[in-house]
Amino acid sequence: MTIASTKTHHRVCHLCEAMCGLIIKTEGDKVVDIRGDKSDPLSRGHVCPKAVALQDIHEDPDRLRKPLKRIRSAPGVYEHVEIEWGEALDLAANALADTIEKHGVNAIGAYFGNPSAHNYGMMTHQRNLFRNIRTRNRFSATSVDQLPHHLVSMWMYGHMLLMPIPDIDRTDYFLMLGANPLASNGSIWTVPDVRKRIKDLTARGGKLVVVDPRRTETAELASEHHFVKPGTDAALLLALIHVIFRDDLVSLGALADFTDGLDDVRNAVLPLSPEWASDITGIPAANIERIATDMATAKAGICYGRMGVSTQAYGTLCQWAIQVINVITGNLDKPGGSLFTKPAMDQVMNSSRGGFARYTSRGQGLPEFNYELPAAELATEIRTPGADQIKLMFTGAGNPVLSTPNGRAVDEALEELDFMISLDPALNETTRHADIILPPTSPLEHDNYDFVFHNMAIRNTARYTPAVFDKPEGTLHDWEIFAELGERLAERLGLEPMPRVPPHKVVDAALQAGPYGRDSEWNLSIEKLKDHPSGIDFGPLEPSCPERLQTADKRIGLAIPEVLADITRLLSDVTINKGGYRLIGRRNVRDNNSWMHNHQRLIKGKSRCNLLMHPDDVAKEGWSEGMQVTIKSRVGAITAELSPSTEVMPGVISLPHGYGHGLQGTRSQVANGHAGVSCNDVTDEQFLDQLSGNAAVNGVPVELSA
Ligand SMILES: Nc1nc2c(c(=O)[nH]1)N[C@H]1C(S)=C(S)[C@@H](COP(=O)(O)OP(=O)(O)OC[C@H]3O[C@@H](n4cnc5c(=O)[nH]c(N)nc54)[C@H](O)[C@@H]3O)O[C@H]1N2
Ligand SMILES: Nc1nc2c(c(=O)[nH]1)N[C@H]1C(S)=C(S)[C@@H](COP(=O)(O)OP(=O)(O)OC[C@H]3O[C@@H](n4cnc5c(=O)[nH]c(N)nc54)[C@H](O)[C@@H]3O)O[C@H]1N2
Ligand code: SF4
Ligand SMILES: [Mo]
C-alpha cells in the first residue's frame, strides 16, 4: 500500500463573483481540506460556506462523467444512457448541420447560463462553435439579471461592460437598493469579505443605508433600513434627483467638463416630488429628503442597486437613475464613490460595446441586446410557427426551466423541439429534455483565469489558478467540447473552423498586451502569475475619466431619450400602486441559483424554500405558521409552507428561486430529496421591464389562498 502525500494547491473559488482565494489540500485524488488564502490581496482569507462545495461538486456521484443519449420508448417516456464521446459529438454536430441545412441558422436556439461567466474556457471558446451559427435566437441569464446595467452603461459610458464599481473601502455614505451582499457576496461588485468592509465603513463613522422590501442580513448591519414597496424604486430614485436639483445640491466636480444633459434631467424630474414618491413607495417624504441631502453632501458617496432593482418592472429606469445620482453628486470616478476598474485583461477593450433593438422577438416584439433576445421569450420562440422558429436548442451551463419566468412553459416547449443538446455536468430539470448531454471536466480538473469578475472588482488584481487534478483520460473540458463540435460542424458545412488555442494562451496574449503587460513595469503574463499563486494587487481603483469613457465624444450624456420616455410609462402605470400581494425573491448564502442543491453539506437543515409573509397579513387571512399556501399568478400556481416574519413588509411575500427539483428523469438524488417549488412557475413572461425586455422576477402580482 502506498500512502499518498499531501499536496497544497492555490485556487480561486469560481462559484460566485467574490473570487475568494483558497488553499486546497489533496491526497492522491482526494480533497482533504479547503480554506481561505490569507495571502490573497482581495479576499484576505475570507470564504463563505460554499467554498467546501468545490470538493462536493468534484466528488458528486450524480455528476456526469460520460455523454448521455436520450432514448424515447414512447411519447414522454425516455431514459438517458451513456455513450462514447465520438458518437455523442457526431450526433450533436450532425443534428446542428441538418437543422441549419433544412431550416436555416435561426432554427438553432442557444441559452447560456450563469456558470459560463465563471469558467474561462466557456468564454474563450463559445465562438469555436457559434462563429458558424450566427442565430438571432440567442438567449442567456443576462436578461433575467443584469441587462439594465449593460444597457445604461452602453448609453451613458459608451460600452456595455464599463460599469462603475462601488469603492466601499473609502466611502462615507453608501445607499444600497435591492442587493443583499451578505447572502450573495456581491454582484457587479466583486467584494469578498463584504461583512468586514461594511463594519469598517460604519466603524469609521460612515453610513450604509439599505432600501429593500425585506429586512435582509445586509439591512441588519446597516445604519438605516427603509422598506420600499416592490417595483417602486424608480419613483424613489427620481424624487432623490428632484431634491438634489431643487436644493441646488448638484455638484459635478471634475465631471463638469464632460457631462451633458443636466437641463433635460432637471426638467424631467421637476414634477416628481418626494410627496409624489412617498405615495408610491411607502417611504415618508421626509426620509426621501434626508437621503437625498445625505447622499449629496457626503464627502464621498455611493448609490448602488442590484437584482431587486434590475429584475423588476422599471429595471432600466432604476439603473439609469442610480448612475445619474452618482454623476450629479460628483461621486462617479472619484475615490470613495464609484469608479471604473483597470483590469489586467480588459473586457472593455476586448469585446463589443453592445447594441440594442436591431431586431425584435417574434412574440412580444421585445428588443435584442448584444445579439441576444430576452430569456422571457424562449418558450414563445420555440413554439411560434413560422420563419425563424427554433427547432434545435443548445444549452450551456444553464437551467432555464428553473431560472426564467414561466419556467413551466419553457419545460413544455423544450419537449416540443426536434433536437436538444446540453453542455452540462448535470441531468437536471432542463437537460432532461436533451437528446445529447455533453459533460465537461469538473472545475478542479481545469485551470481558470477569471476574466469577467476582475473587471468588476473593488481593487485591480489578477490571479491565475492551475488545475488541482489532472484531467481523467477520455474526458473533455468545456472549451474542448466547443472546439470538437465547431470542427465537426465546419467540416459538414464546408466552412473554416476556428483554430484551437487553449484558453490559457488566449489569456496570456491578452495579459501581455494589457495595461500591466509587456509595455509596463509589471510585465504580466500567465508565467508571472504562476510565480504569484495568491495573485498580484495593482492597487485601488483610480479616477480614469474622461479617457476611459468609450462614448465617441468622450463625454457622458445623461439625457437618454429612451429612458426619459420611460418616465411616462411609470407616470401612467395604474397597477403600480394596486393593492394585493407582491412576490419577491430571496438568496441564502448556502444556495447558488438552481444548481448546488445536490450537496448534503449545503442543503441540510430546515427547508429554505418557505414563504415569508408579514404576521399582520397572516392574521388578516386567518392563517397560521406551517400552513400550505398557494401562490397564483396569471401563468401558474405553486404551494409553499408559510413562515410568518416581520422581515418582510406587509403586502410582500418572499420565496427563493432555484428550487422545484424532483422532476421525472432528473439525476440529482440529494436535491430531489429537498425539491421545494420553483417560484418561476408563477413569475410571468409578460411581466417585464418593457424598455429592456429584462424579466421582472421581483414585485410579481400574485393571489394567495390556503
Ligand atoms: N425568480 C428568480 N429567478 C431568477 C433569479 C432570481 O433572483 N429570482 N436570478 C436570476 C439570475 S441572477 C441568474 S444568473 C439565473 C441563473 O440561471 P441559469 O444560469 O440558467 O441557471 P443556474 O441555476 O445557474 O444553472 C447552472 C447550470 O450550469 C451547470 N454548470 C455548472 N458549472 C458548469 C460548468 O463549469 N460547465 C458547464 N457546462 N455547466 C456548468 C449546472 O449543472 C446547471 O445546470 O437565474 C435567474 N433567475
Ligand atoms: N448564496 C448565493 N450567492 C449568489 C447567488 C445565489 O443564488 N446564492 N447568485 C449569484 C447571482 S447569479 C447573482 S446575479 C447575485 C445577486 O446578488 P444580489 O442582487 O445582491 O442578491 P439578492 O439576494 O437577489 O438581492 C436582491 C435584493 O433585492 C430585494 N428586492 C426584491 N424586490 C425589490 C424591489 O422591488 N426593490 C428593492 N429595493 N429591493 C428588492 C430582495 O429582497 C433582495 O434582498 O448573487 C450571486 N451570488
Ligand atoms: S463567497 Fe463563497 S462562493 Fe463566493 S467566491 Fe467566496 S467562497 Fe466562493
Ligand atoms: Mo445572476
**Ligand 1 pocket check for 480: Cβ under 6 Å:** no
Residue 688: φ, ψ to 5°: -140, 165
Question: Is 49 within the bounds of a domain?
Answer: no
- Report yes or no: 316 and 692 within 8 Å, Cβ to Cβ: yes
Output the pLDDT for position 579: 85
Nearest-CA neighbor of 150 among 160, 138, 140?
160
Output the pLDDT for position 72: 85
Residues 592 and 495 in one domain: no
What is the 28 CA–ligand 3 centroid distance (Å)? 25
Domain total of the chain: 2
In ligand 2, the atom with minimum distance to the C-alpha of 114 is 12
Residues 481 and 591 in one domain: no
pLDDT in tens, 202-216: 999 999 999 999 999
Output the pLDDT for position 2: 58
Residues 484 and 590 in one domain: no
Residues with C-beta less than 6 Å from any ligand 2 atom: 16, 114, 145, 177-181, 183-185, 187, 211-214, 216, 228, 230-231, 233, 306-309, 312, 584-585, 587-589, 591-593, 698-699
Question: Is 391 within the bounds of a domain?
Answer: yes
Q: Which ligand approaches the C-alpha of residue 230 most closely?
A: 2
H-helix segments, 384-477: 400-403, 407-415
pLDDT in tens, 663-672: 999 999 999 9
Question: Is 387 within the bounds of a domain?
Answer: yes
What is the 90 CA–ligand 2 centroid distance (Å)? 40
CA dihedral 80, 83, 87, 92 (to 10 degrees): 30
In ligand 3, the atom with minimum distance to the C-alpha of 22 is 7
Question: Is 584 within the bounds of a domain?
Answer: yes
Output the pLDDT for position 575: 86
Last residue of a domain, one of 515, 538, 561: 538
Give DSSP secondary structure letters for 343-404.
-SS-HHHHS----EEEEE-SSS-PEEETTB--GGGHHHHHHS-STT---EEEEES--HHHHS
Residues 379 and 484 in one domain: yes
Q: Which residue numbers in the chain have pLDDT < 70? A: 1-3
Residues 621 and 521 in one domain: no
Output the pLDDT for position 77: 85
What is the 280 CA–ligand 2 centroid distance (Å)? 22
Helix, coil or strand: residue 234: helix
Q: For ligand 2, pick from 20, 177, 187, 654 the residue to mutate: most ligand atoms within 8 Å of CB.
A: 187
CATH code of residue 673: 2.40.40.20
Query: Atom 39 (ligand 2): residue with closest C-alpha?
Result: 178
**Ligand 1 pocket check for 428: Cβ under 6 Å:** yes
What is the 510 CA–ligand 2 centroid distance (Å)? 32
Q: How far apart are CA 267 and CA 245, in angstroms?
A: 10
What is the 116 CA–ligand 2 centroid distance (Å)? 19
Q: Which ligand approaches the C-alpha of residue 181 most closely?
A: 2
**Ligand 1 pocket check for 145: Cβ under 6 Å:** yes
Question: Is 374 within the bounds of a domain?
Answer: yes
Q: For ligand 3, pick from 34, 48, 57, 118 the residue to mutate: most ligand atoms within 8 Å of CB.
A: 48
CATH code of residue 104: 3.40.50.740
Give the range of the structural domain holding residue 526, as residue numbers without chain letter. 68-145+347-538
Output the pLDDT for position 489: 98
Residues 375 and 514 in one domain: yes
Query: At a CB cut-off of 8 Å and minimum separation 6, what does 577 contact?
Result: 229, 232, 279, 280
Residues 644 and 503 in one domain: no
What share of the chain has pLDDT > 70, as a percent?
Answer: 100
Nearest-CA neighbor of 251 among 215, 209, 300, 204?
300
User: In the structure grid, which three cell numbers stand for residue 590, read together?
Assistant: 448556502
Q: How far apart are CA 262 and CA 325, in angstroms?
A: 11
Widest CA span in the chain:
81
DSSP 8-state symbol, 458: S
What is the 309 CA–ligand 4 centroid distance (Å)? 13
Query: Atom 32 (ligand 2): residue with closest C-alpha?
Result: 308
Last residue of a domain, one of 510, 538, 566: 538
Last residue of a domain, one of 538, 558, 589: 538
Residues 375 and 522 in one domain: yes
Residues 534 and 404 in one domain: yes
In ligand 3, the atom with minimum distance to the C-alpha of 185 is 1
What is the 533 CA–ligand 3 centroid distance (Å)? 18
Residues 507 and 651 in one domain: no
Output the pLDDT for position 1: 53
Output the pLDDT for position 406: 98
Cross-strand partners of 27: 6, 30
Nearest-CA neighbor of 240 among 166, 151, 305, 329?
329
What is the 588 CA–ligand 3 centroid distance (Å)? 13
Query: Atom 6 (ligand 3): residue with closest C-alpha?
Result: 20
Q: How far apart are CA 596 and CA 56, in angstroms?
A: 9
User: In the structure grid, which three cell numbers stand for residue 136, read together?
Assistant: 438571432
Residue 461: φ, ψ to 5°: -140, 165
Question: Is 189 within the bounds of a domain?
Answer: no
Residues 633 and 485 in one domain: no
pLDDT in tens, 257-311: 999 999 999 999 999 999 999 999 999 999 999 999 999 999 999 999 999 999 9
Question: Is 463 within the bounds of a domain?
Answer: yes
Output the pLDDT for position 486: 98
In ligand 1, the atom with minimum distance to the C-alpha of 400 is 20
Residues 646 and 520 in one domain: no
What is the 43 CA–ligand 3 centroid distance (Å)? 9
Question: Is 410 within the bounds of a domain?
Answer: yes
